[in-house]
Structure 1
Amino acid sequence: MLSNPASKYIPFKPFTQDFSDRTWPSKTITKPPIWMSTDLRDGNQSLIEPMSVERKLRFFKHLLQIGFKEIEVGFPSASQTDFDFVRTLIDDNLIPDDVTIIVLTQAREDLINRTAEACAGAKNAMIHMYNATAPAFRKIVFKMTQDEVRDFAVAGTRMVKAAMAKYPEVNWSFEYSPEVFSTTEPDFAISVCNAVSAEWGTSAERKIIFNLPATIEATTPNLYADQIEYFCRHINDRENVIVSVHPHNDRGTAVAAAELAVMAGADRIEGCLFGSGERTGNVDLVTLALNLYTQGIHPGLDFSDIDAVRLTAEYCNQLPVHPRHPYVGDLVFTAFSGSHQDAIKKGFAQQKADQPWEVPYLPIDPADLGRSYDAVIRVNSQSGKGGIAYLLENEHGLNLPRRLQIEFSRAIQRVTDETGTEVNGNAVFDIFNKEYLQQNKPWHLISHRITSSDNGQGGSLFTLEAELGYGEEVRKVKGHGDGSISAFIDALNLPIRFMDYHEHAIGSGEKTNAVCYVELRLGESGTGFGVGIHKDIVTASFHAVLSAINRHIHAGITI
């Protein structure tokens, strides 16, 4: 690093004139913005392995469940996969009538035409066109003057109108982004947008969306808010303009930038559920929405089953959500500090259902998100005593998933509360064995047989036949699926919702066993784990499923 970074880096200043009459610092947010998810486009482009159509469909359906009405579904002119995905949504009638799909394009005629073609037959579709306006891009990338950049945007808008006219059955709308707005001169950005608005023919019946992206987060959130307020004050026909923001997270302040931008007049926010996106990511919509919720404002999005949202995003993105994510991380409602545990415990003891939420260290009631508070008893090596997970892994080779660590800690808590004593490594394993591995009533596996055949679609169809003990009965069952576990669950014919699966080997050589951890729901129950150990990985997974089911039944879940 340079001893004098000022010799290389110049502080960014968005204004050459004074803007001391800003009003946003005295404003508060009183209602949610319009939300637009870019998970399927901007989030997808950021992945090492972009989503398949199957993963994109799963993500799209979950975004609908959450309540998004505007979803950017792809960049159809840039990718055949994206084009095919948009066509799948339309041809299979998967888009509700009150949902608008958004498709992105550069301001080039061939790309615009291809983009409009992808949306043919949709009920509501929006073309989102962009071109870069910032000085560095004008000078280095495109070598264009301000007038040429402005004319380019207007010409692109004209092409969009012509392309839309080819498909009159679609209820079209238009979004324009002066890309890299965050480092564009404010007056120039306004002049480009005014020219685009005039070409579009903005009116009460034909509103336009101007997206003002912090494509590169170049300065502090308060200066971005100044840019947004200045734009809102000076753009023509403001009442017929929807001002949208798309903050990136280069400086780690995208959430603050988005919130201050709304205070400054923005109507709409674009981002991804957990902040996926190029480089450092887009703004995190989950955090924004739940920040509002903790201030008594319903965001209009449903995160009452936050674990299911996280699992969907992790599966589709193939990226983990950080365990310390403000509302969603595995450990966010887990306190390792004794003083924290004590304060939270006392807070819960005094909290009344009909009173405002006031539990120390917890800004939101975990139950509102379908979560629970778990005080994990964990002693680190510095105290001379190993934690629960450490003991199980180092003494018994069991590498528990984080959520299972949290769940199992409740069983340890019960024992320590009842005995008032500490537990050693052997006691921890004995409790684990009783809680998970010996869960063989009422269901237990007697025998099973698996066969596979061609499913006619390039894959395999698994058929399972098994004998199961149920109490004193022996039941013969049969099921089918695209894998051994799915065939087993099909054979059980129970209201099972499979949530998560982990496996690993323990031991070595001839003594090697497989251990499986399964997380599932039974009916309307909360999630719960089961664990199975066997020399055969498939058999171990079946034992784990039955362990989870039996634990649910013992907890009082009726089927």
Structure 2
Amino acid sequence: MSFDHRKYAPFPTIDKPDRQWPSKRIEKAPLWAAVDLRDGNQALIKPMSVAQKKRFFKLLVELGYKEIEVGFPSASQIDYDFCRALIEEDLVPDDVHIQVLSQARQELIERTFESLKGAKKAVVHIYNATSPTFREQVFNVDKEGCKAIAVKSAEWVRDAAAKQPDTEWSFQYSPETFSATETDFAIEVIDAVNEVWRPDQGQRVIINLPATVEVSTPNVFADQVELVHENIRYREHVLISVHTHDDRGCGVAAAELAVMAGADRVEGTLLGNGERTGNMDLVTAGMNLYAQGIDPEIDFSRMKEIRALVEEITEIDTHPRHPYAGDLVFTAFSGSHQDAIRKCLARYTPGDIWRVAYLPIDPHDLGRRYEEVVRINSQSGKGGVAHVLERDFGISLPRWLQQELAMVVQQDAEEDGGEITGERIHRRFNGDYLNVPAGWTLRSYDLHRADDGVRARISVGDEEGATVDVEGRGEGAMGALVDALNRRHGWQIRVEAFDEYSLGDNTEANAMACVRVQVGEQVQSAVALAADTTAAALQAILSAAGRVAASEAEQPARARA
């Protein structure tokens, strides 16, 4: 098997030193044309039925598309029947143009107009291939012959439309394979077509410039579009449209640069379904505008519904990393990413300009939940674990405990090799930190202020059953309890870290305390919830001490084993 790059030639660049598009910016949405029901449909292994097309058409209308290509009625009976159903069942809103495609042949154009009888607004789209490859190798015509095909088909369209004056007609012409055509020749053909249709006399005309196959970088395509924009006759009376494909993975970029270069209209499909690598994705293109503060004039808030219908009808799964629509596009597993997202979300106030790290748009705008944003695996860090506990369970932890819990969760994730759910993190937190060891529940406490500090009498035991009273003294309640435990167990407890919090009114407990203690070589941490901060602090110390005692009891057993 050979792999020889020398069999390919680089696509020529455009010599246009006065190009204007690089300094332009898109400030409003172009006119969108959805071609899912024709261009997208012809790329499916199992083309859509009339019933499926009706469902898809209904969705496109609800989303806000005003120009919808509904089929190729002269080439497909299903497309013909669907077109008739839309008209006869009055399924097309008054402000929506239905668009149909036809080859540049008289009998096919006549059949196309027959399918549109009674339509309120319709776009008839004709095309012929204009590139050297097609002229020389496929159709064996010279430039004049190629131009004559376009002109004759334009005449047939004009004459057929005149016989159905009750319909508001738009004429659309595509020099198919425009991106691979000499631009000056494409302009020559476009001008010849416009001389037939005379947009300057009131006929609505769309000149569509297809990257039928994407053969160049997007900047070259933008140069080609700008040349057409600057040089065709009747420019102020026509709409320039682009129809890009994704052979090089740049369909959206090419369309965006084309709009900067003068295009008024963009054709594409939802989620990019189409031949080969697909059509320009209307979802990505529209949401790219939205993320720049520009109204795409299409409602993408129903993203899950859009995706579900497209997947059901096309039988094509959406990649989990597909821009804006994929399952994982707002998901962060990386610890540093999670920490940044958590901090930014904590500062964000509705009504502010959206400035959240790693999230170009607010997932809520697409009907997504913040629960989907931060998910935990072995790559996650303290910020992600802390965010999940705060988000799902309302538990805020001090930084030192975030780090400690994150290491425990990471070990679990590495052992499992997969994602750790929020419920599992919560269970691990409860088991390792919040659960009170048997026999170490704070039953009661009595504190007295004395000259030498605080004297404490503390009752410890199980929830039900026998209790043990311990006494001690210290600078505060915690110090007195530590002194009491040291006296009773012969320990030297050192409190390494301590944080306490008052909780909101919507929680059963009013206070939470987090503590880390060291006894000899042992370090144990614990968290406690209680009715007040003093009780929470004392219970946290007792829980940590209980873990020390349990560990000491296990050591002789392990030695004997």
Same fold per TM (> 0.5)? yes
Match of 2:125 in 1: 128
SS in structure 2 at match of 1:120:
coil
Q: Is the 8 A contact 1:14 1:227 kept in 2?
A: no
Pick from 33, 36, 40 the counterpart of residue 37 of structure 2: 40
CA distance in 1 between counterparts of 2:4 and 2:94 reads 58
Q: Is the 8 A contact 1:37 1:72 kept in 2?
A: yes
- How far did residue 193 of structure 1 move? 0.4
Q: Is the 8 A contact 2:67 2:96 kept in 1?
A: yes
- How far did residue 379 of structure 1 move? 3.9
| Bigger Rg over Cα | 2
CA distance in 2 between counterparts of 1:3 and 1:271 reads 33
Pick from 174, 195, 206 the counterpart of residue 209 of structure 1: 206
Please state if 1:248 is matched with 2:210: no
Residues 86 and 421 (structure 1 numbering): CA distance in 2 closer, same or farther, change over 3 Å? farther
1:3-402 to 2 correspondences below 5 Å: 5-6=5-6, 8-13=7-12, 15=14, 18-203=15-200, 205-373=202-370, 374=372, 375-379=374-378, 385-386=412-413
SS in structure 1 at match of 2:288:
helix
Q: Is the 8 A contact 2:333 2:377 kept in 1?
A: yes
- How far did residue 67 of structure 1 move? 0.2
Q: Is the 8 A contact 1:58 1:316 kept in 2?
A: no
- How far did residue 207 of structure 1 move? 2.8
- How far did residue 413 of structure 1 move? 5.0
CA distance in 1 between counterparts of 2:265 and 2:334 reads 39
- How far did residue 170 of structure 1 move? 1.2
Can you list the C-alpha shifts for 1:168-215, whole angstroms capped at 9, x where unaligned?
Answer: 221111000000000000010000000000011222621310000000
- How far did residue 237 of structure 1 move? 1.0
- How far did residue 27 of structure 1 move? 0.5
Residues 53 and 388 (structure 1 numbering): CA distance in 2 closer, same or farther, change over 3 Å? farther
**How many residues get paired?**
404
- How far did residue 161 of structure 1 move? 1.5
Can you list the C-alpha shifts for 1:508-541, whole angstroms capped at 9, x where unaligned?
Answer: xxxxxxxxxxxxxxxxxxxxxxxxxxxxxxxxxx
SS in structure 2 at match of 1:203:
helix
CA distance in 2 between counterparts of 1:410 and 1:142 reads 63
- How far did residue 358 of structure 1 move? 1.1
CA distance in 1 between counterparts of 2:295 and 2:274 reads 26
CA distance in 2 between counterparts of 1:57 and 1:376 reads 38
Can you list the C-alpha shifts for 1:128-161, whole angstroms capped at 9, x where unaligned?
Answer: 0000000000001100010001011000011111
Residue 286 of structure 2 aligns with an amino acid whose one-letter code is A
- How far did residue 419 of structure 1 move? 5.4
1:348-497 to 2 correspondences below 5 Å: 348-373=345-370, 374=372, 375-379=374-378, 385-386=412-413, 409-416=421-428
- How far did residue 54 of structure 1 move? 1.5
Residue 270 of structure 2 aligns with an amino acid whose one-letter code is L
- How far did residue 305 of structure 1 move? 1.5
SS in structure 2 at match of 1:242:
strand
Residues 99 and 414 (structure 1 numbering): CA distance in 2 closer, same or farther, change over 3 Å? farther
Can you list the C-alpha shifts for 1:361-410, whole angstroms capped at 9, x where unaligned?
Answer: 10000011111232222348x9764589978xxxxxxxxxxxxx9xx944
Residues 388 and 184 (structure 1 numbering): CA distance in 2 closer, same or farther, change over 3 Å? farther
Residues 414 and 307 (structure 1 numbering): CA distance in 2 closer, same or farther, change over 3 Å? farther
Residue 187 of structure 2 aligns with an amino acid whose one-letter code is I
Q: Is the 8 A contact 2:377 2:410 kept in 1?
A: no
Residue 65 of structure 1 aligns with an amino acid whose one-letter code is E
- How far did residue 37 of structure 1 move? 0.2
CA distance in 1 between counterparts of 2:28 and 2:59 reads 24
Residues 292 and 389 (structure 1 numbering): CA distance in 2 closer, same or farther, change over 3 Å? farther
Residues 420 and 184 (structure 1 numbering): CA distance in 2 closer, same or farther, change over 3 Å? farther
SS in structure 2 at match of 1:193:
helix
Residues 43 and 214 (structure 1 numbering): CA distance in 2 closer, same or farther, change over 3 Å? same
Can you list the C-alpha shifts for 1:314-370, whole angstroms capped at 9, x where unaligned?
Answer: 111111111001101011122222222222111111112122111111000001111
Q: Is the 8 A contact 2:35 2:269 kept in 1?
A: yes
CA distance in 2 between counterparts of 1:46 and 1:306 reads 23
Can you list the C-alpha shifts for 1:247-291, whole angstroms capped at 9, x where unaligned?
Answer: 001100111101100000000000001111111111011111111
SS in structure 1 at match of 2:249:
coil
Residues 30 and 338 (structure 1 numbering): CA distance in 2 closer, same or farther, change over 3 Å? same
CA distance in 1 between counterparts of 2:350 and 2:415 reads 33
- How far did residue 5 of structure 1 move? 1.7
Residue 240 of structure 1 aligns with an amino acid whose one-letter code is H
SS in structure 1 at match of 2:124:
strand
Q: Is the 8 A contact 2:209 2:241 kept in 1?
A: yes
Residues 189 and 298 (structure 1 numbering): CA distance in 2 closer, same or farther, change over 3 Å? same
CA distance in 1 between counterparts of 2:53 and 2:275 reads 18
Match of 2:515 in 1: none
Residues 413 and 85 (structure 1 numbering): CA distance in 2 closer, same or farther, change over 3 Å? farther
Residue 129 of structure 1 aligns with an amino acid whose one-letter code is I
Residue 5 of structure 1 aligns with an amino acid whose one-letter code is H
Q: Is the 8 A contact 1:100 1:124 kept in 2?
A: yes
SS in structure 1 at match of 2:32:
strand
Can you list the C-alpha shifts for 1:470-489, whole angstroms capped at 9, x where unaligned?
Answer: xxxxxxxxxxxxxxxxxxxx
Q: Is the 8 A contact 1:14 1:186 kept in 2?
A: no
Match of 1:451 in 2: none
Give unmatched runs, 5+ long, in structure 2.
380-408, 435-561
Give unmatched runs, 5+ long, in structure 1.
392-404, 423-559
Q: Is the 8 A contact 1:186 1:231 kept in 2?
A: yes
Residue 244 of structure 1 aligns with an amino acid whose one-letter code is S
CA distance in 1 between counterparts of 2:99 and 2:121 reads 9
Match of 1:426 in 2: none
SS in structure 2 at match of 1:274:
helix
CA distance in 2 between counterparts of 1:218 and 1:355 reads 42
- How far did residue 415 of structure 1 move? 4.0
Residues 329 and 139 (structure 1 numbering): CA distance in 2 closer, same or farther, change over 3 Å? same
Can you list the C-alpha shifts for 1:386-443, whole angstroms capped at 9, x where unaligned?
Answer: 589978xxxxxxxxxxxxx9xx944445545655679xxxxxxxxxxxxxxxxxxxxx
1:502-541 to 2 correspondences below 5 Å: none
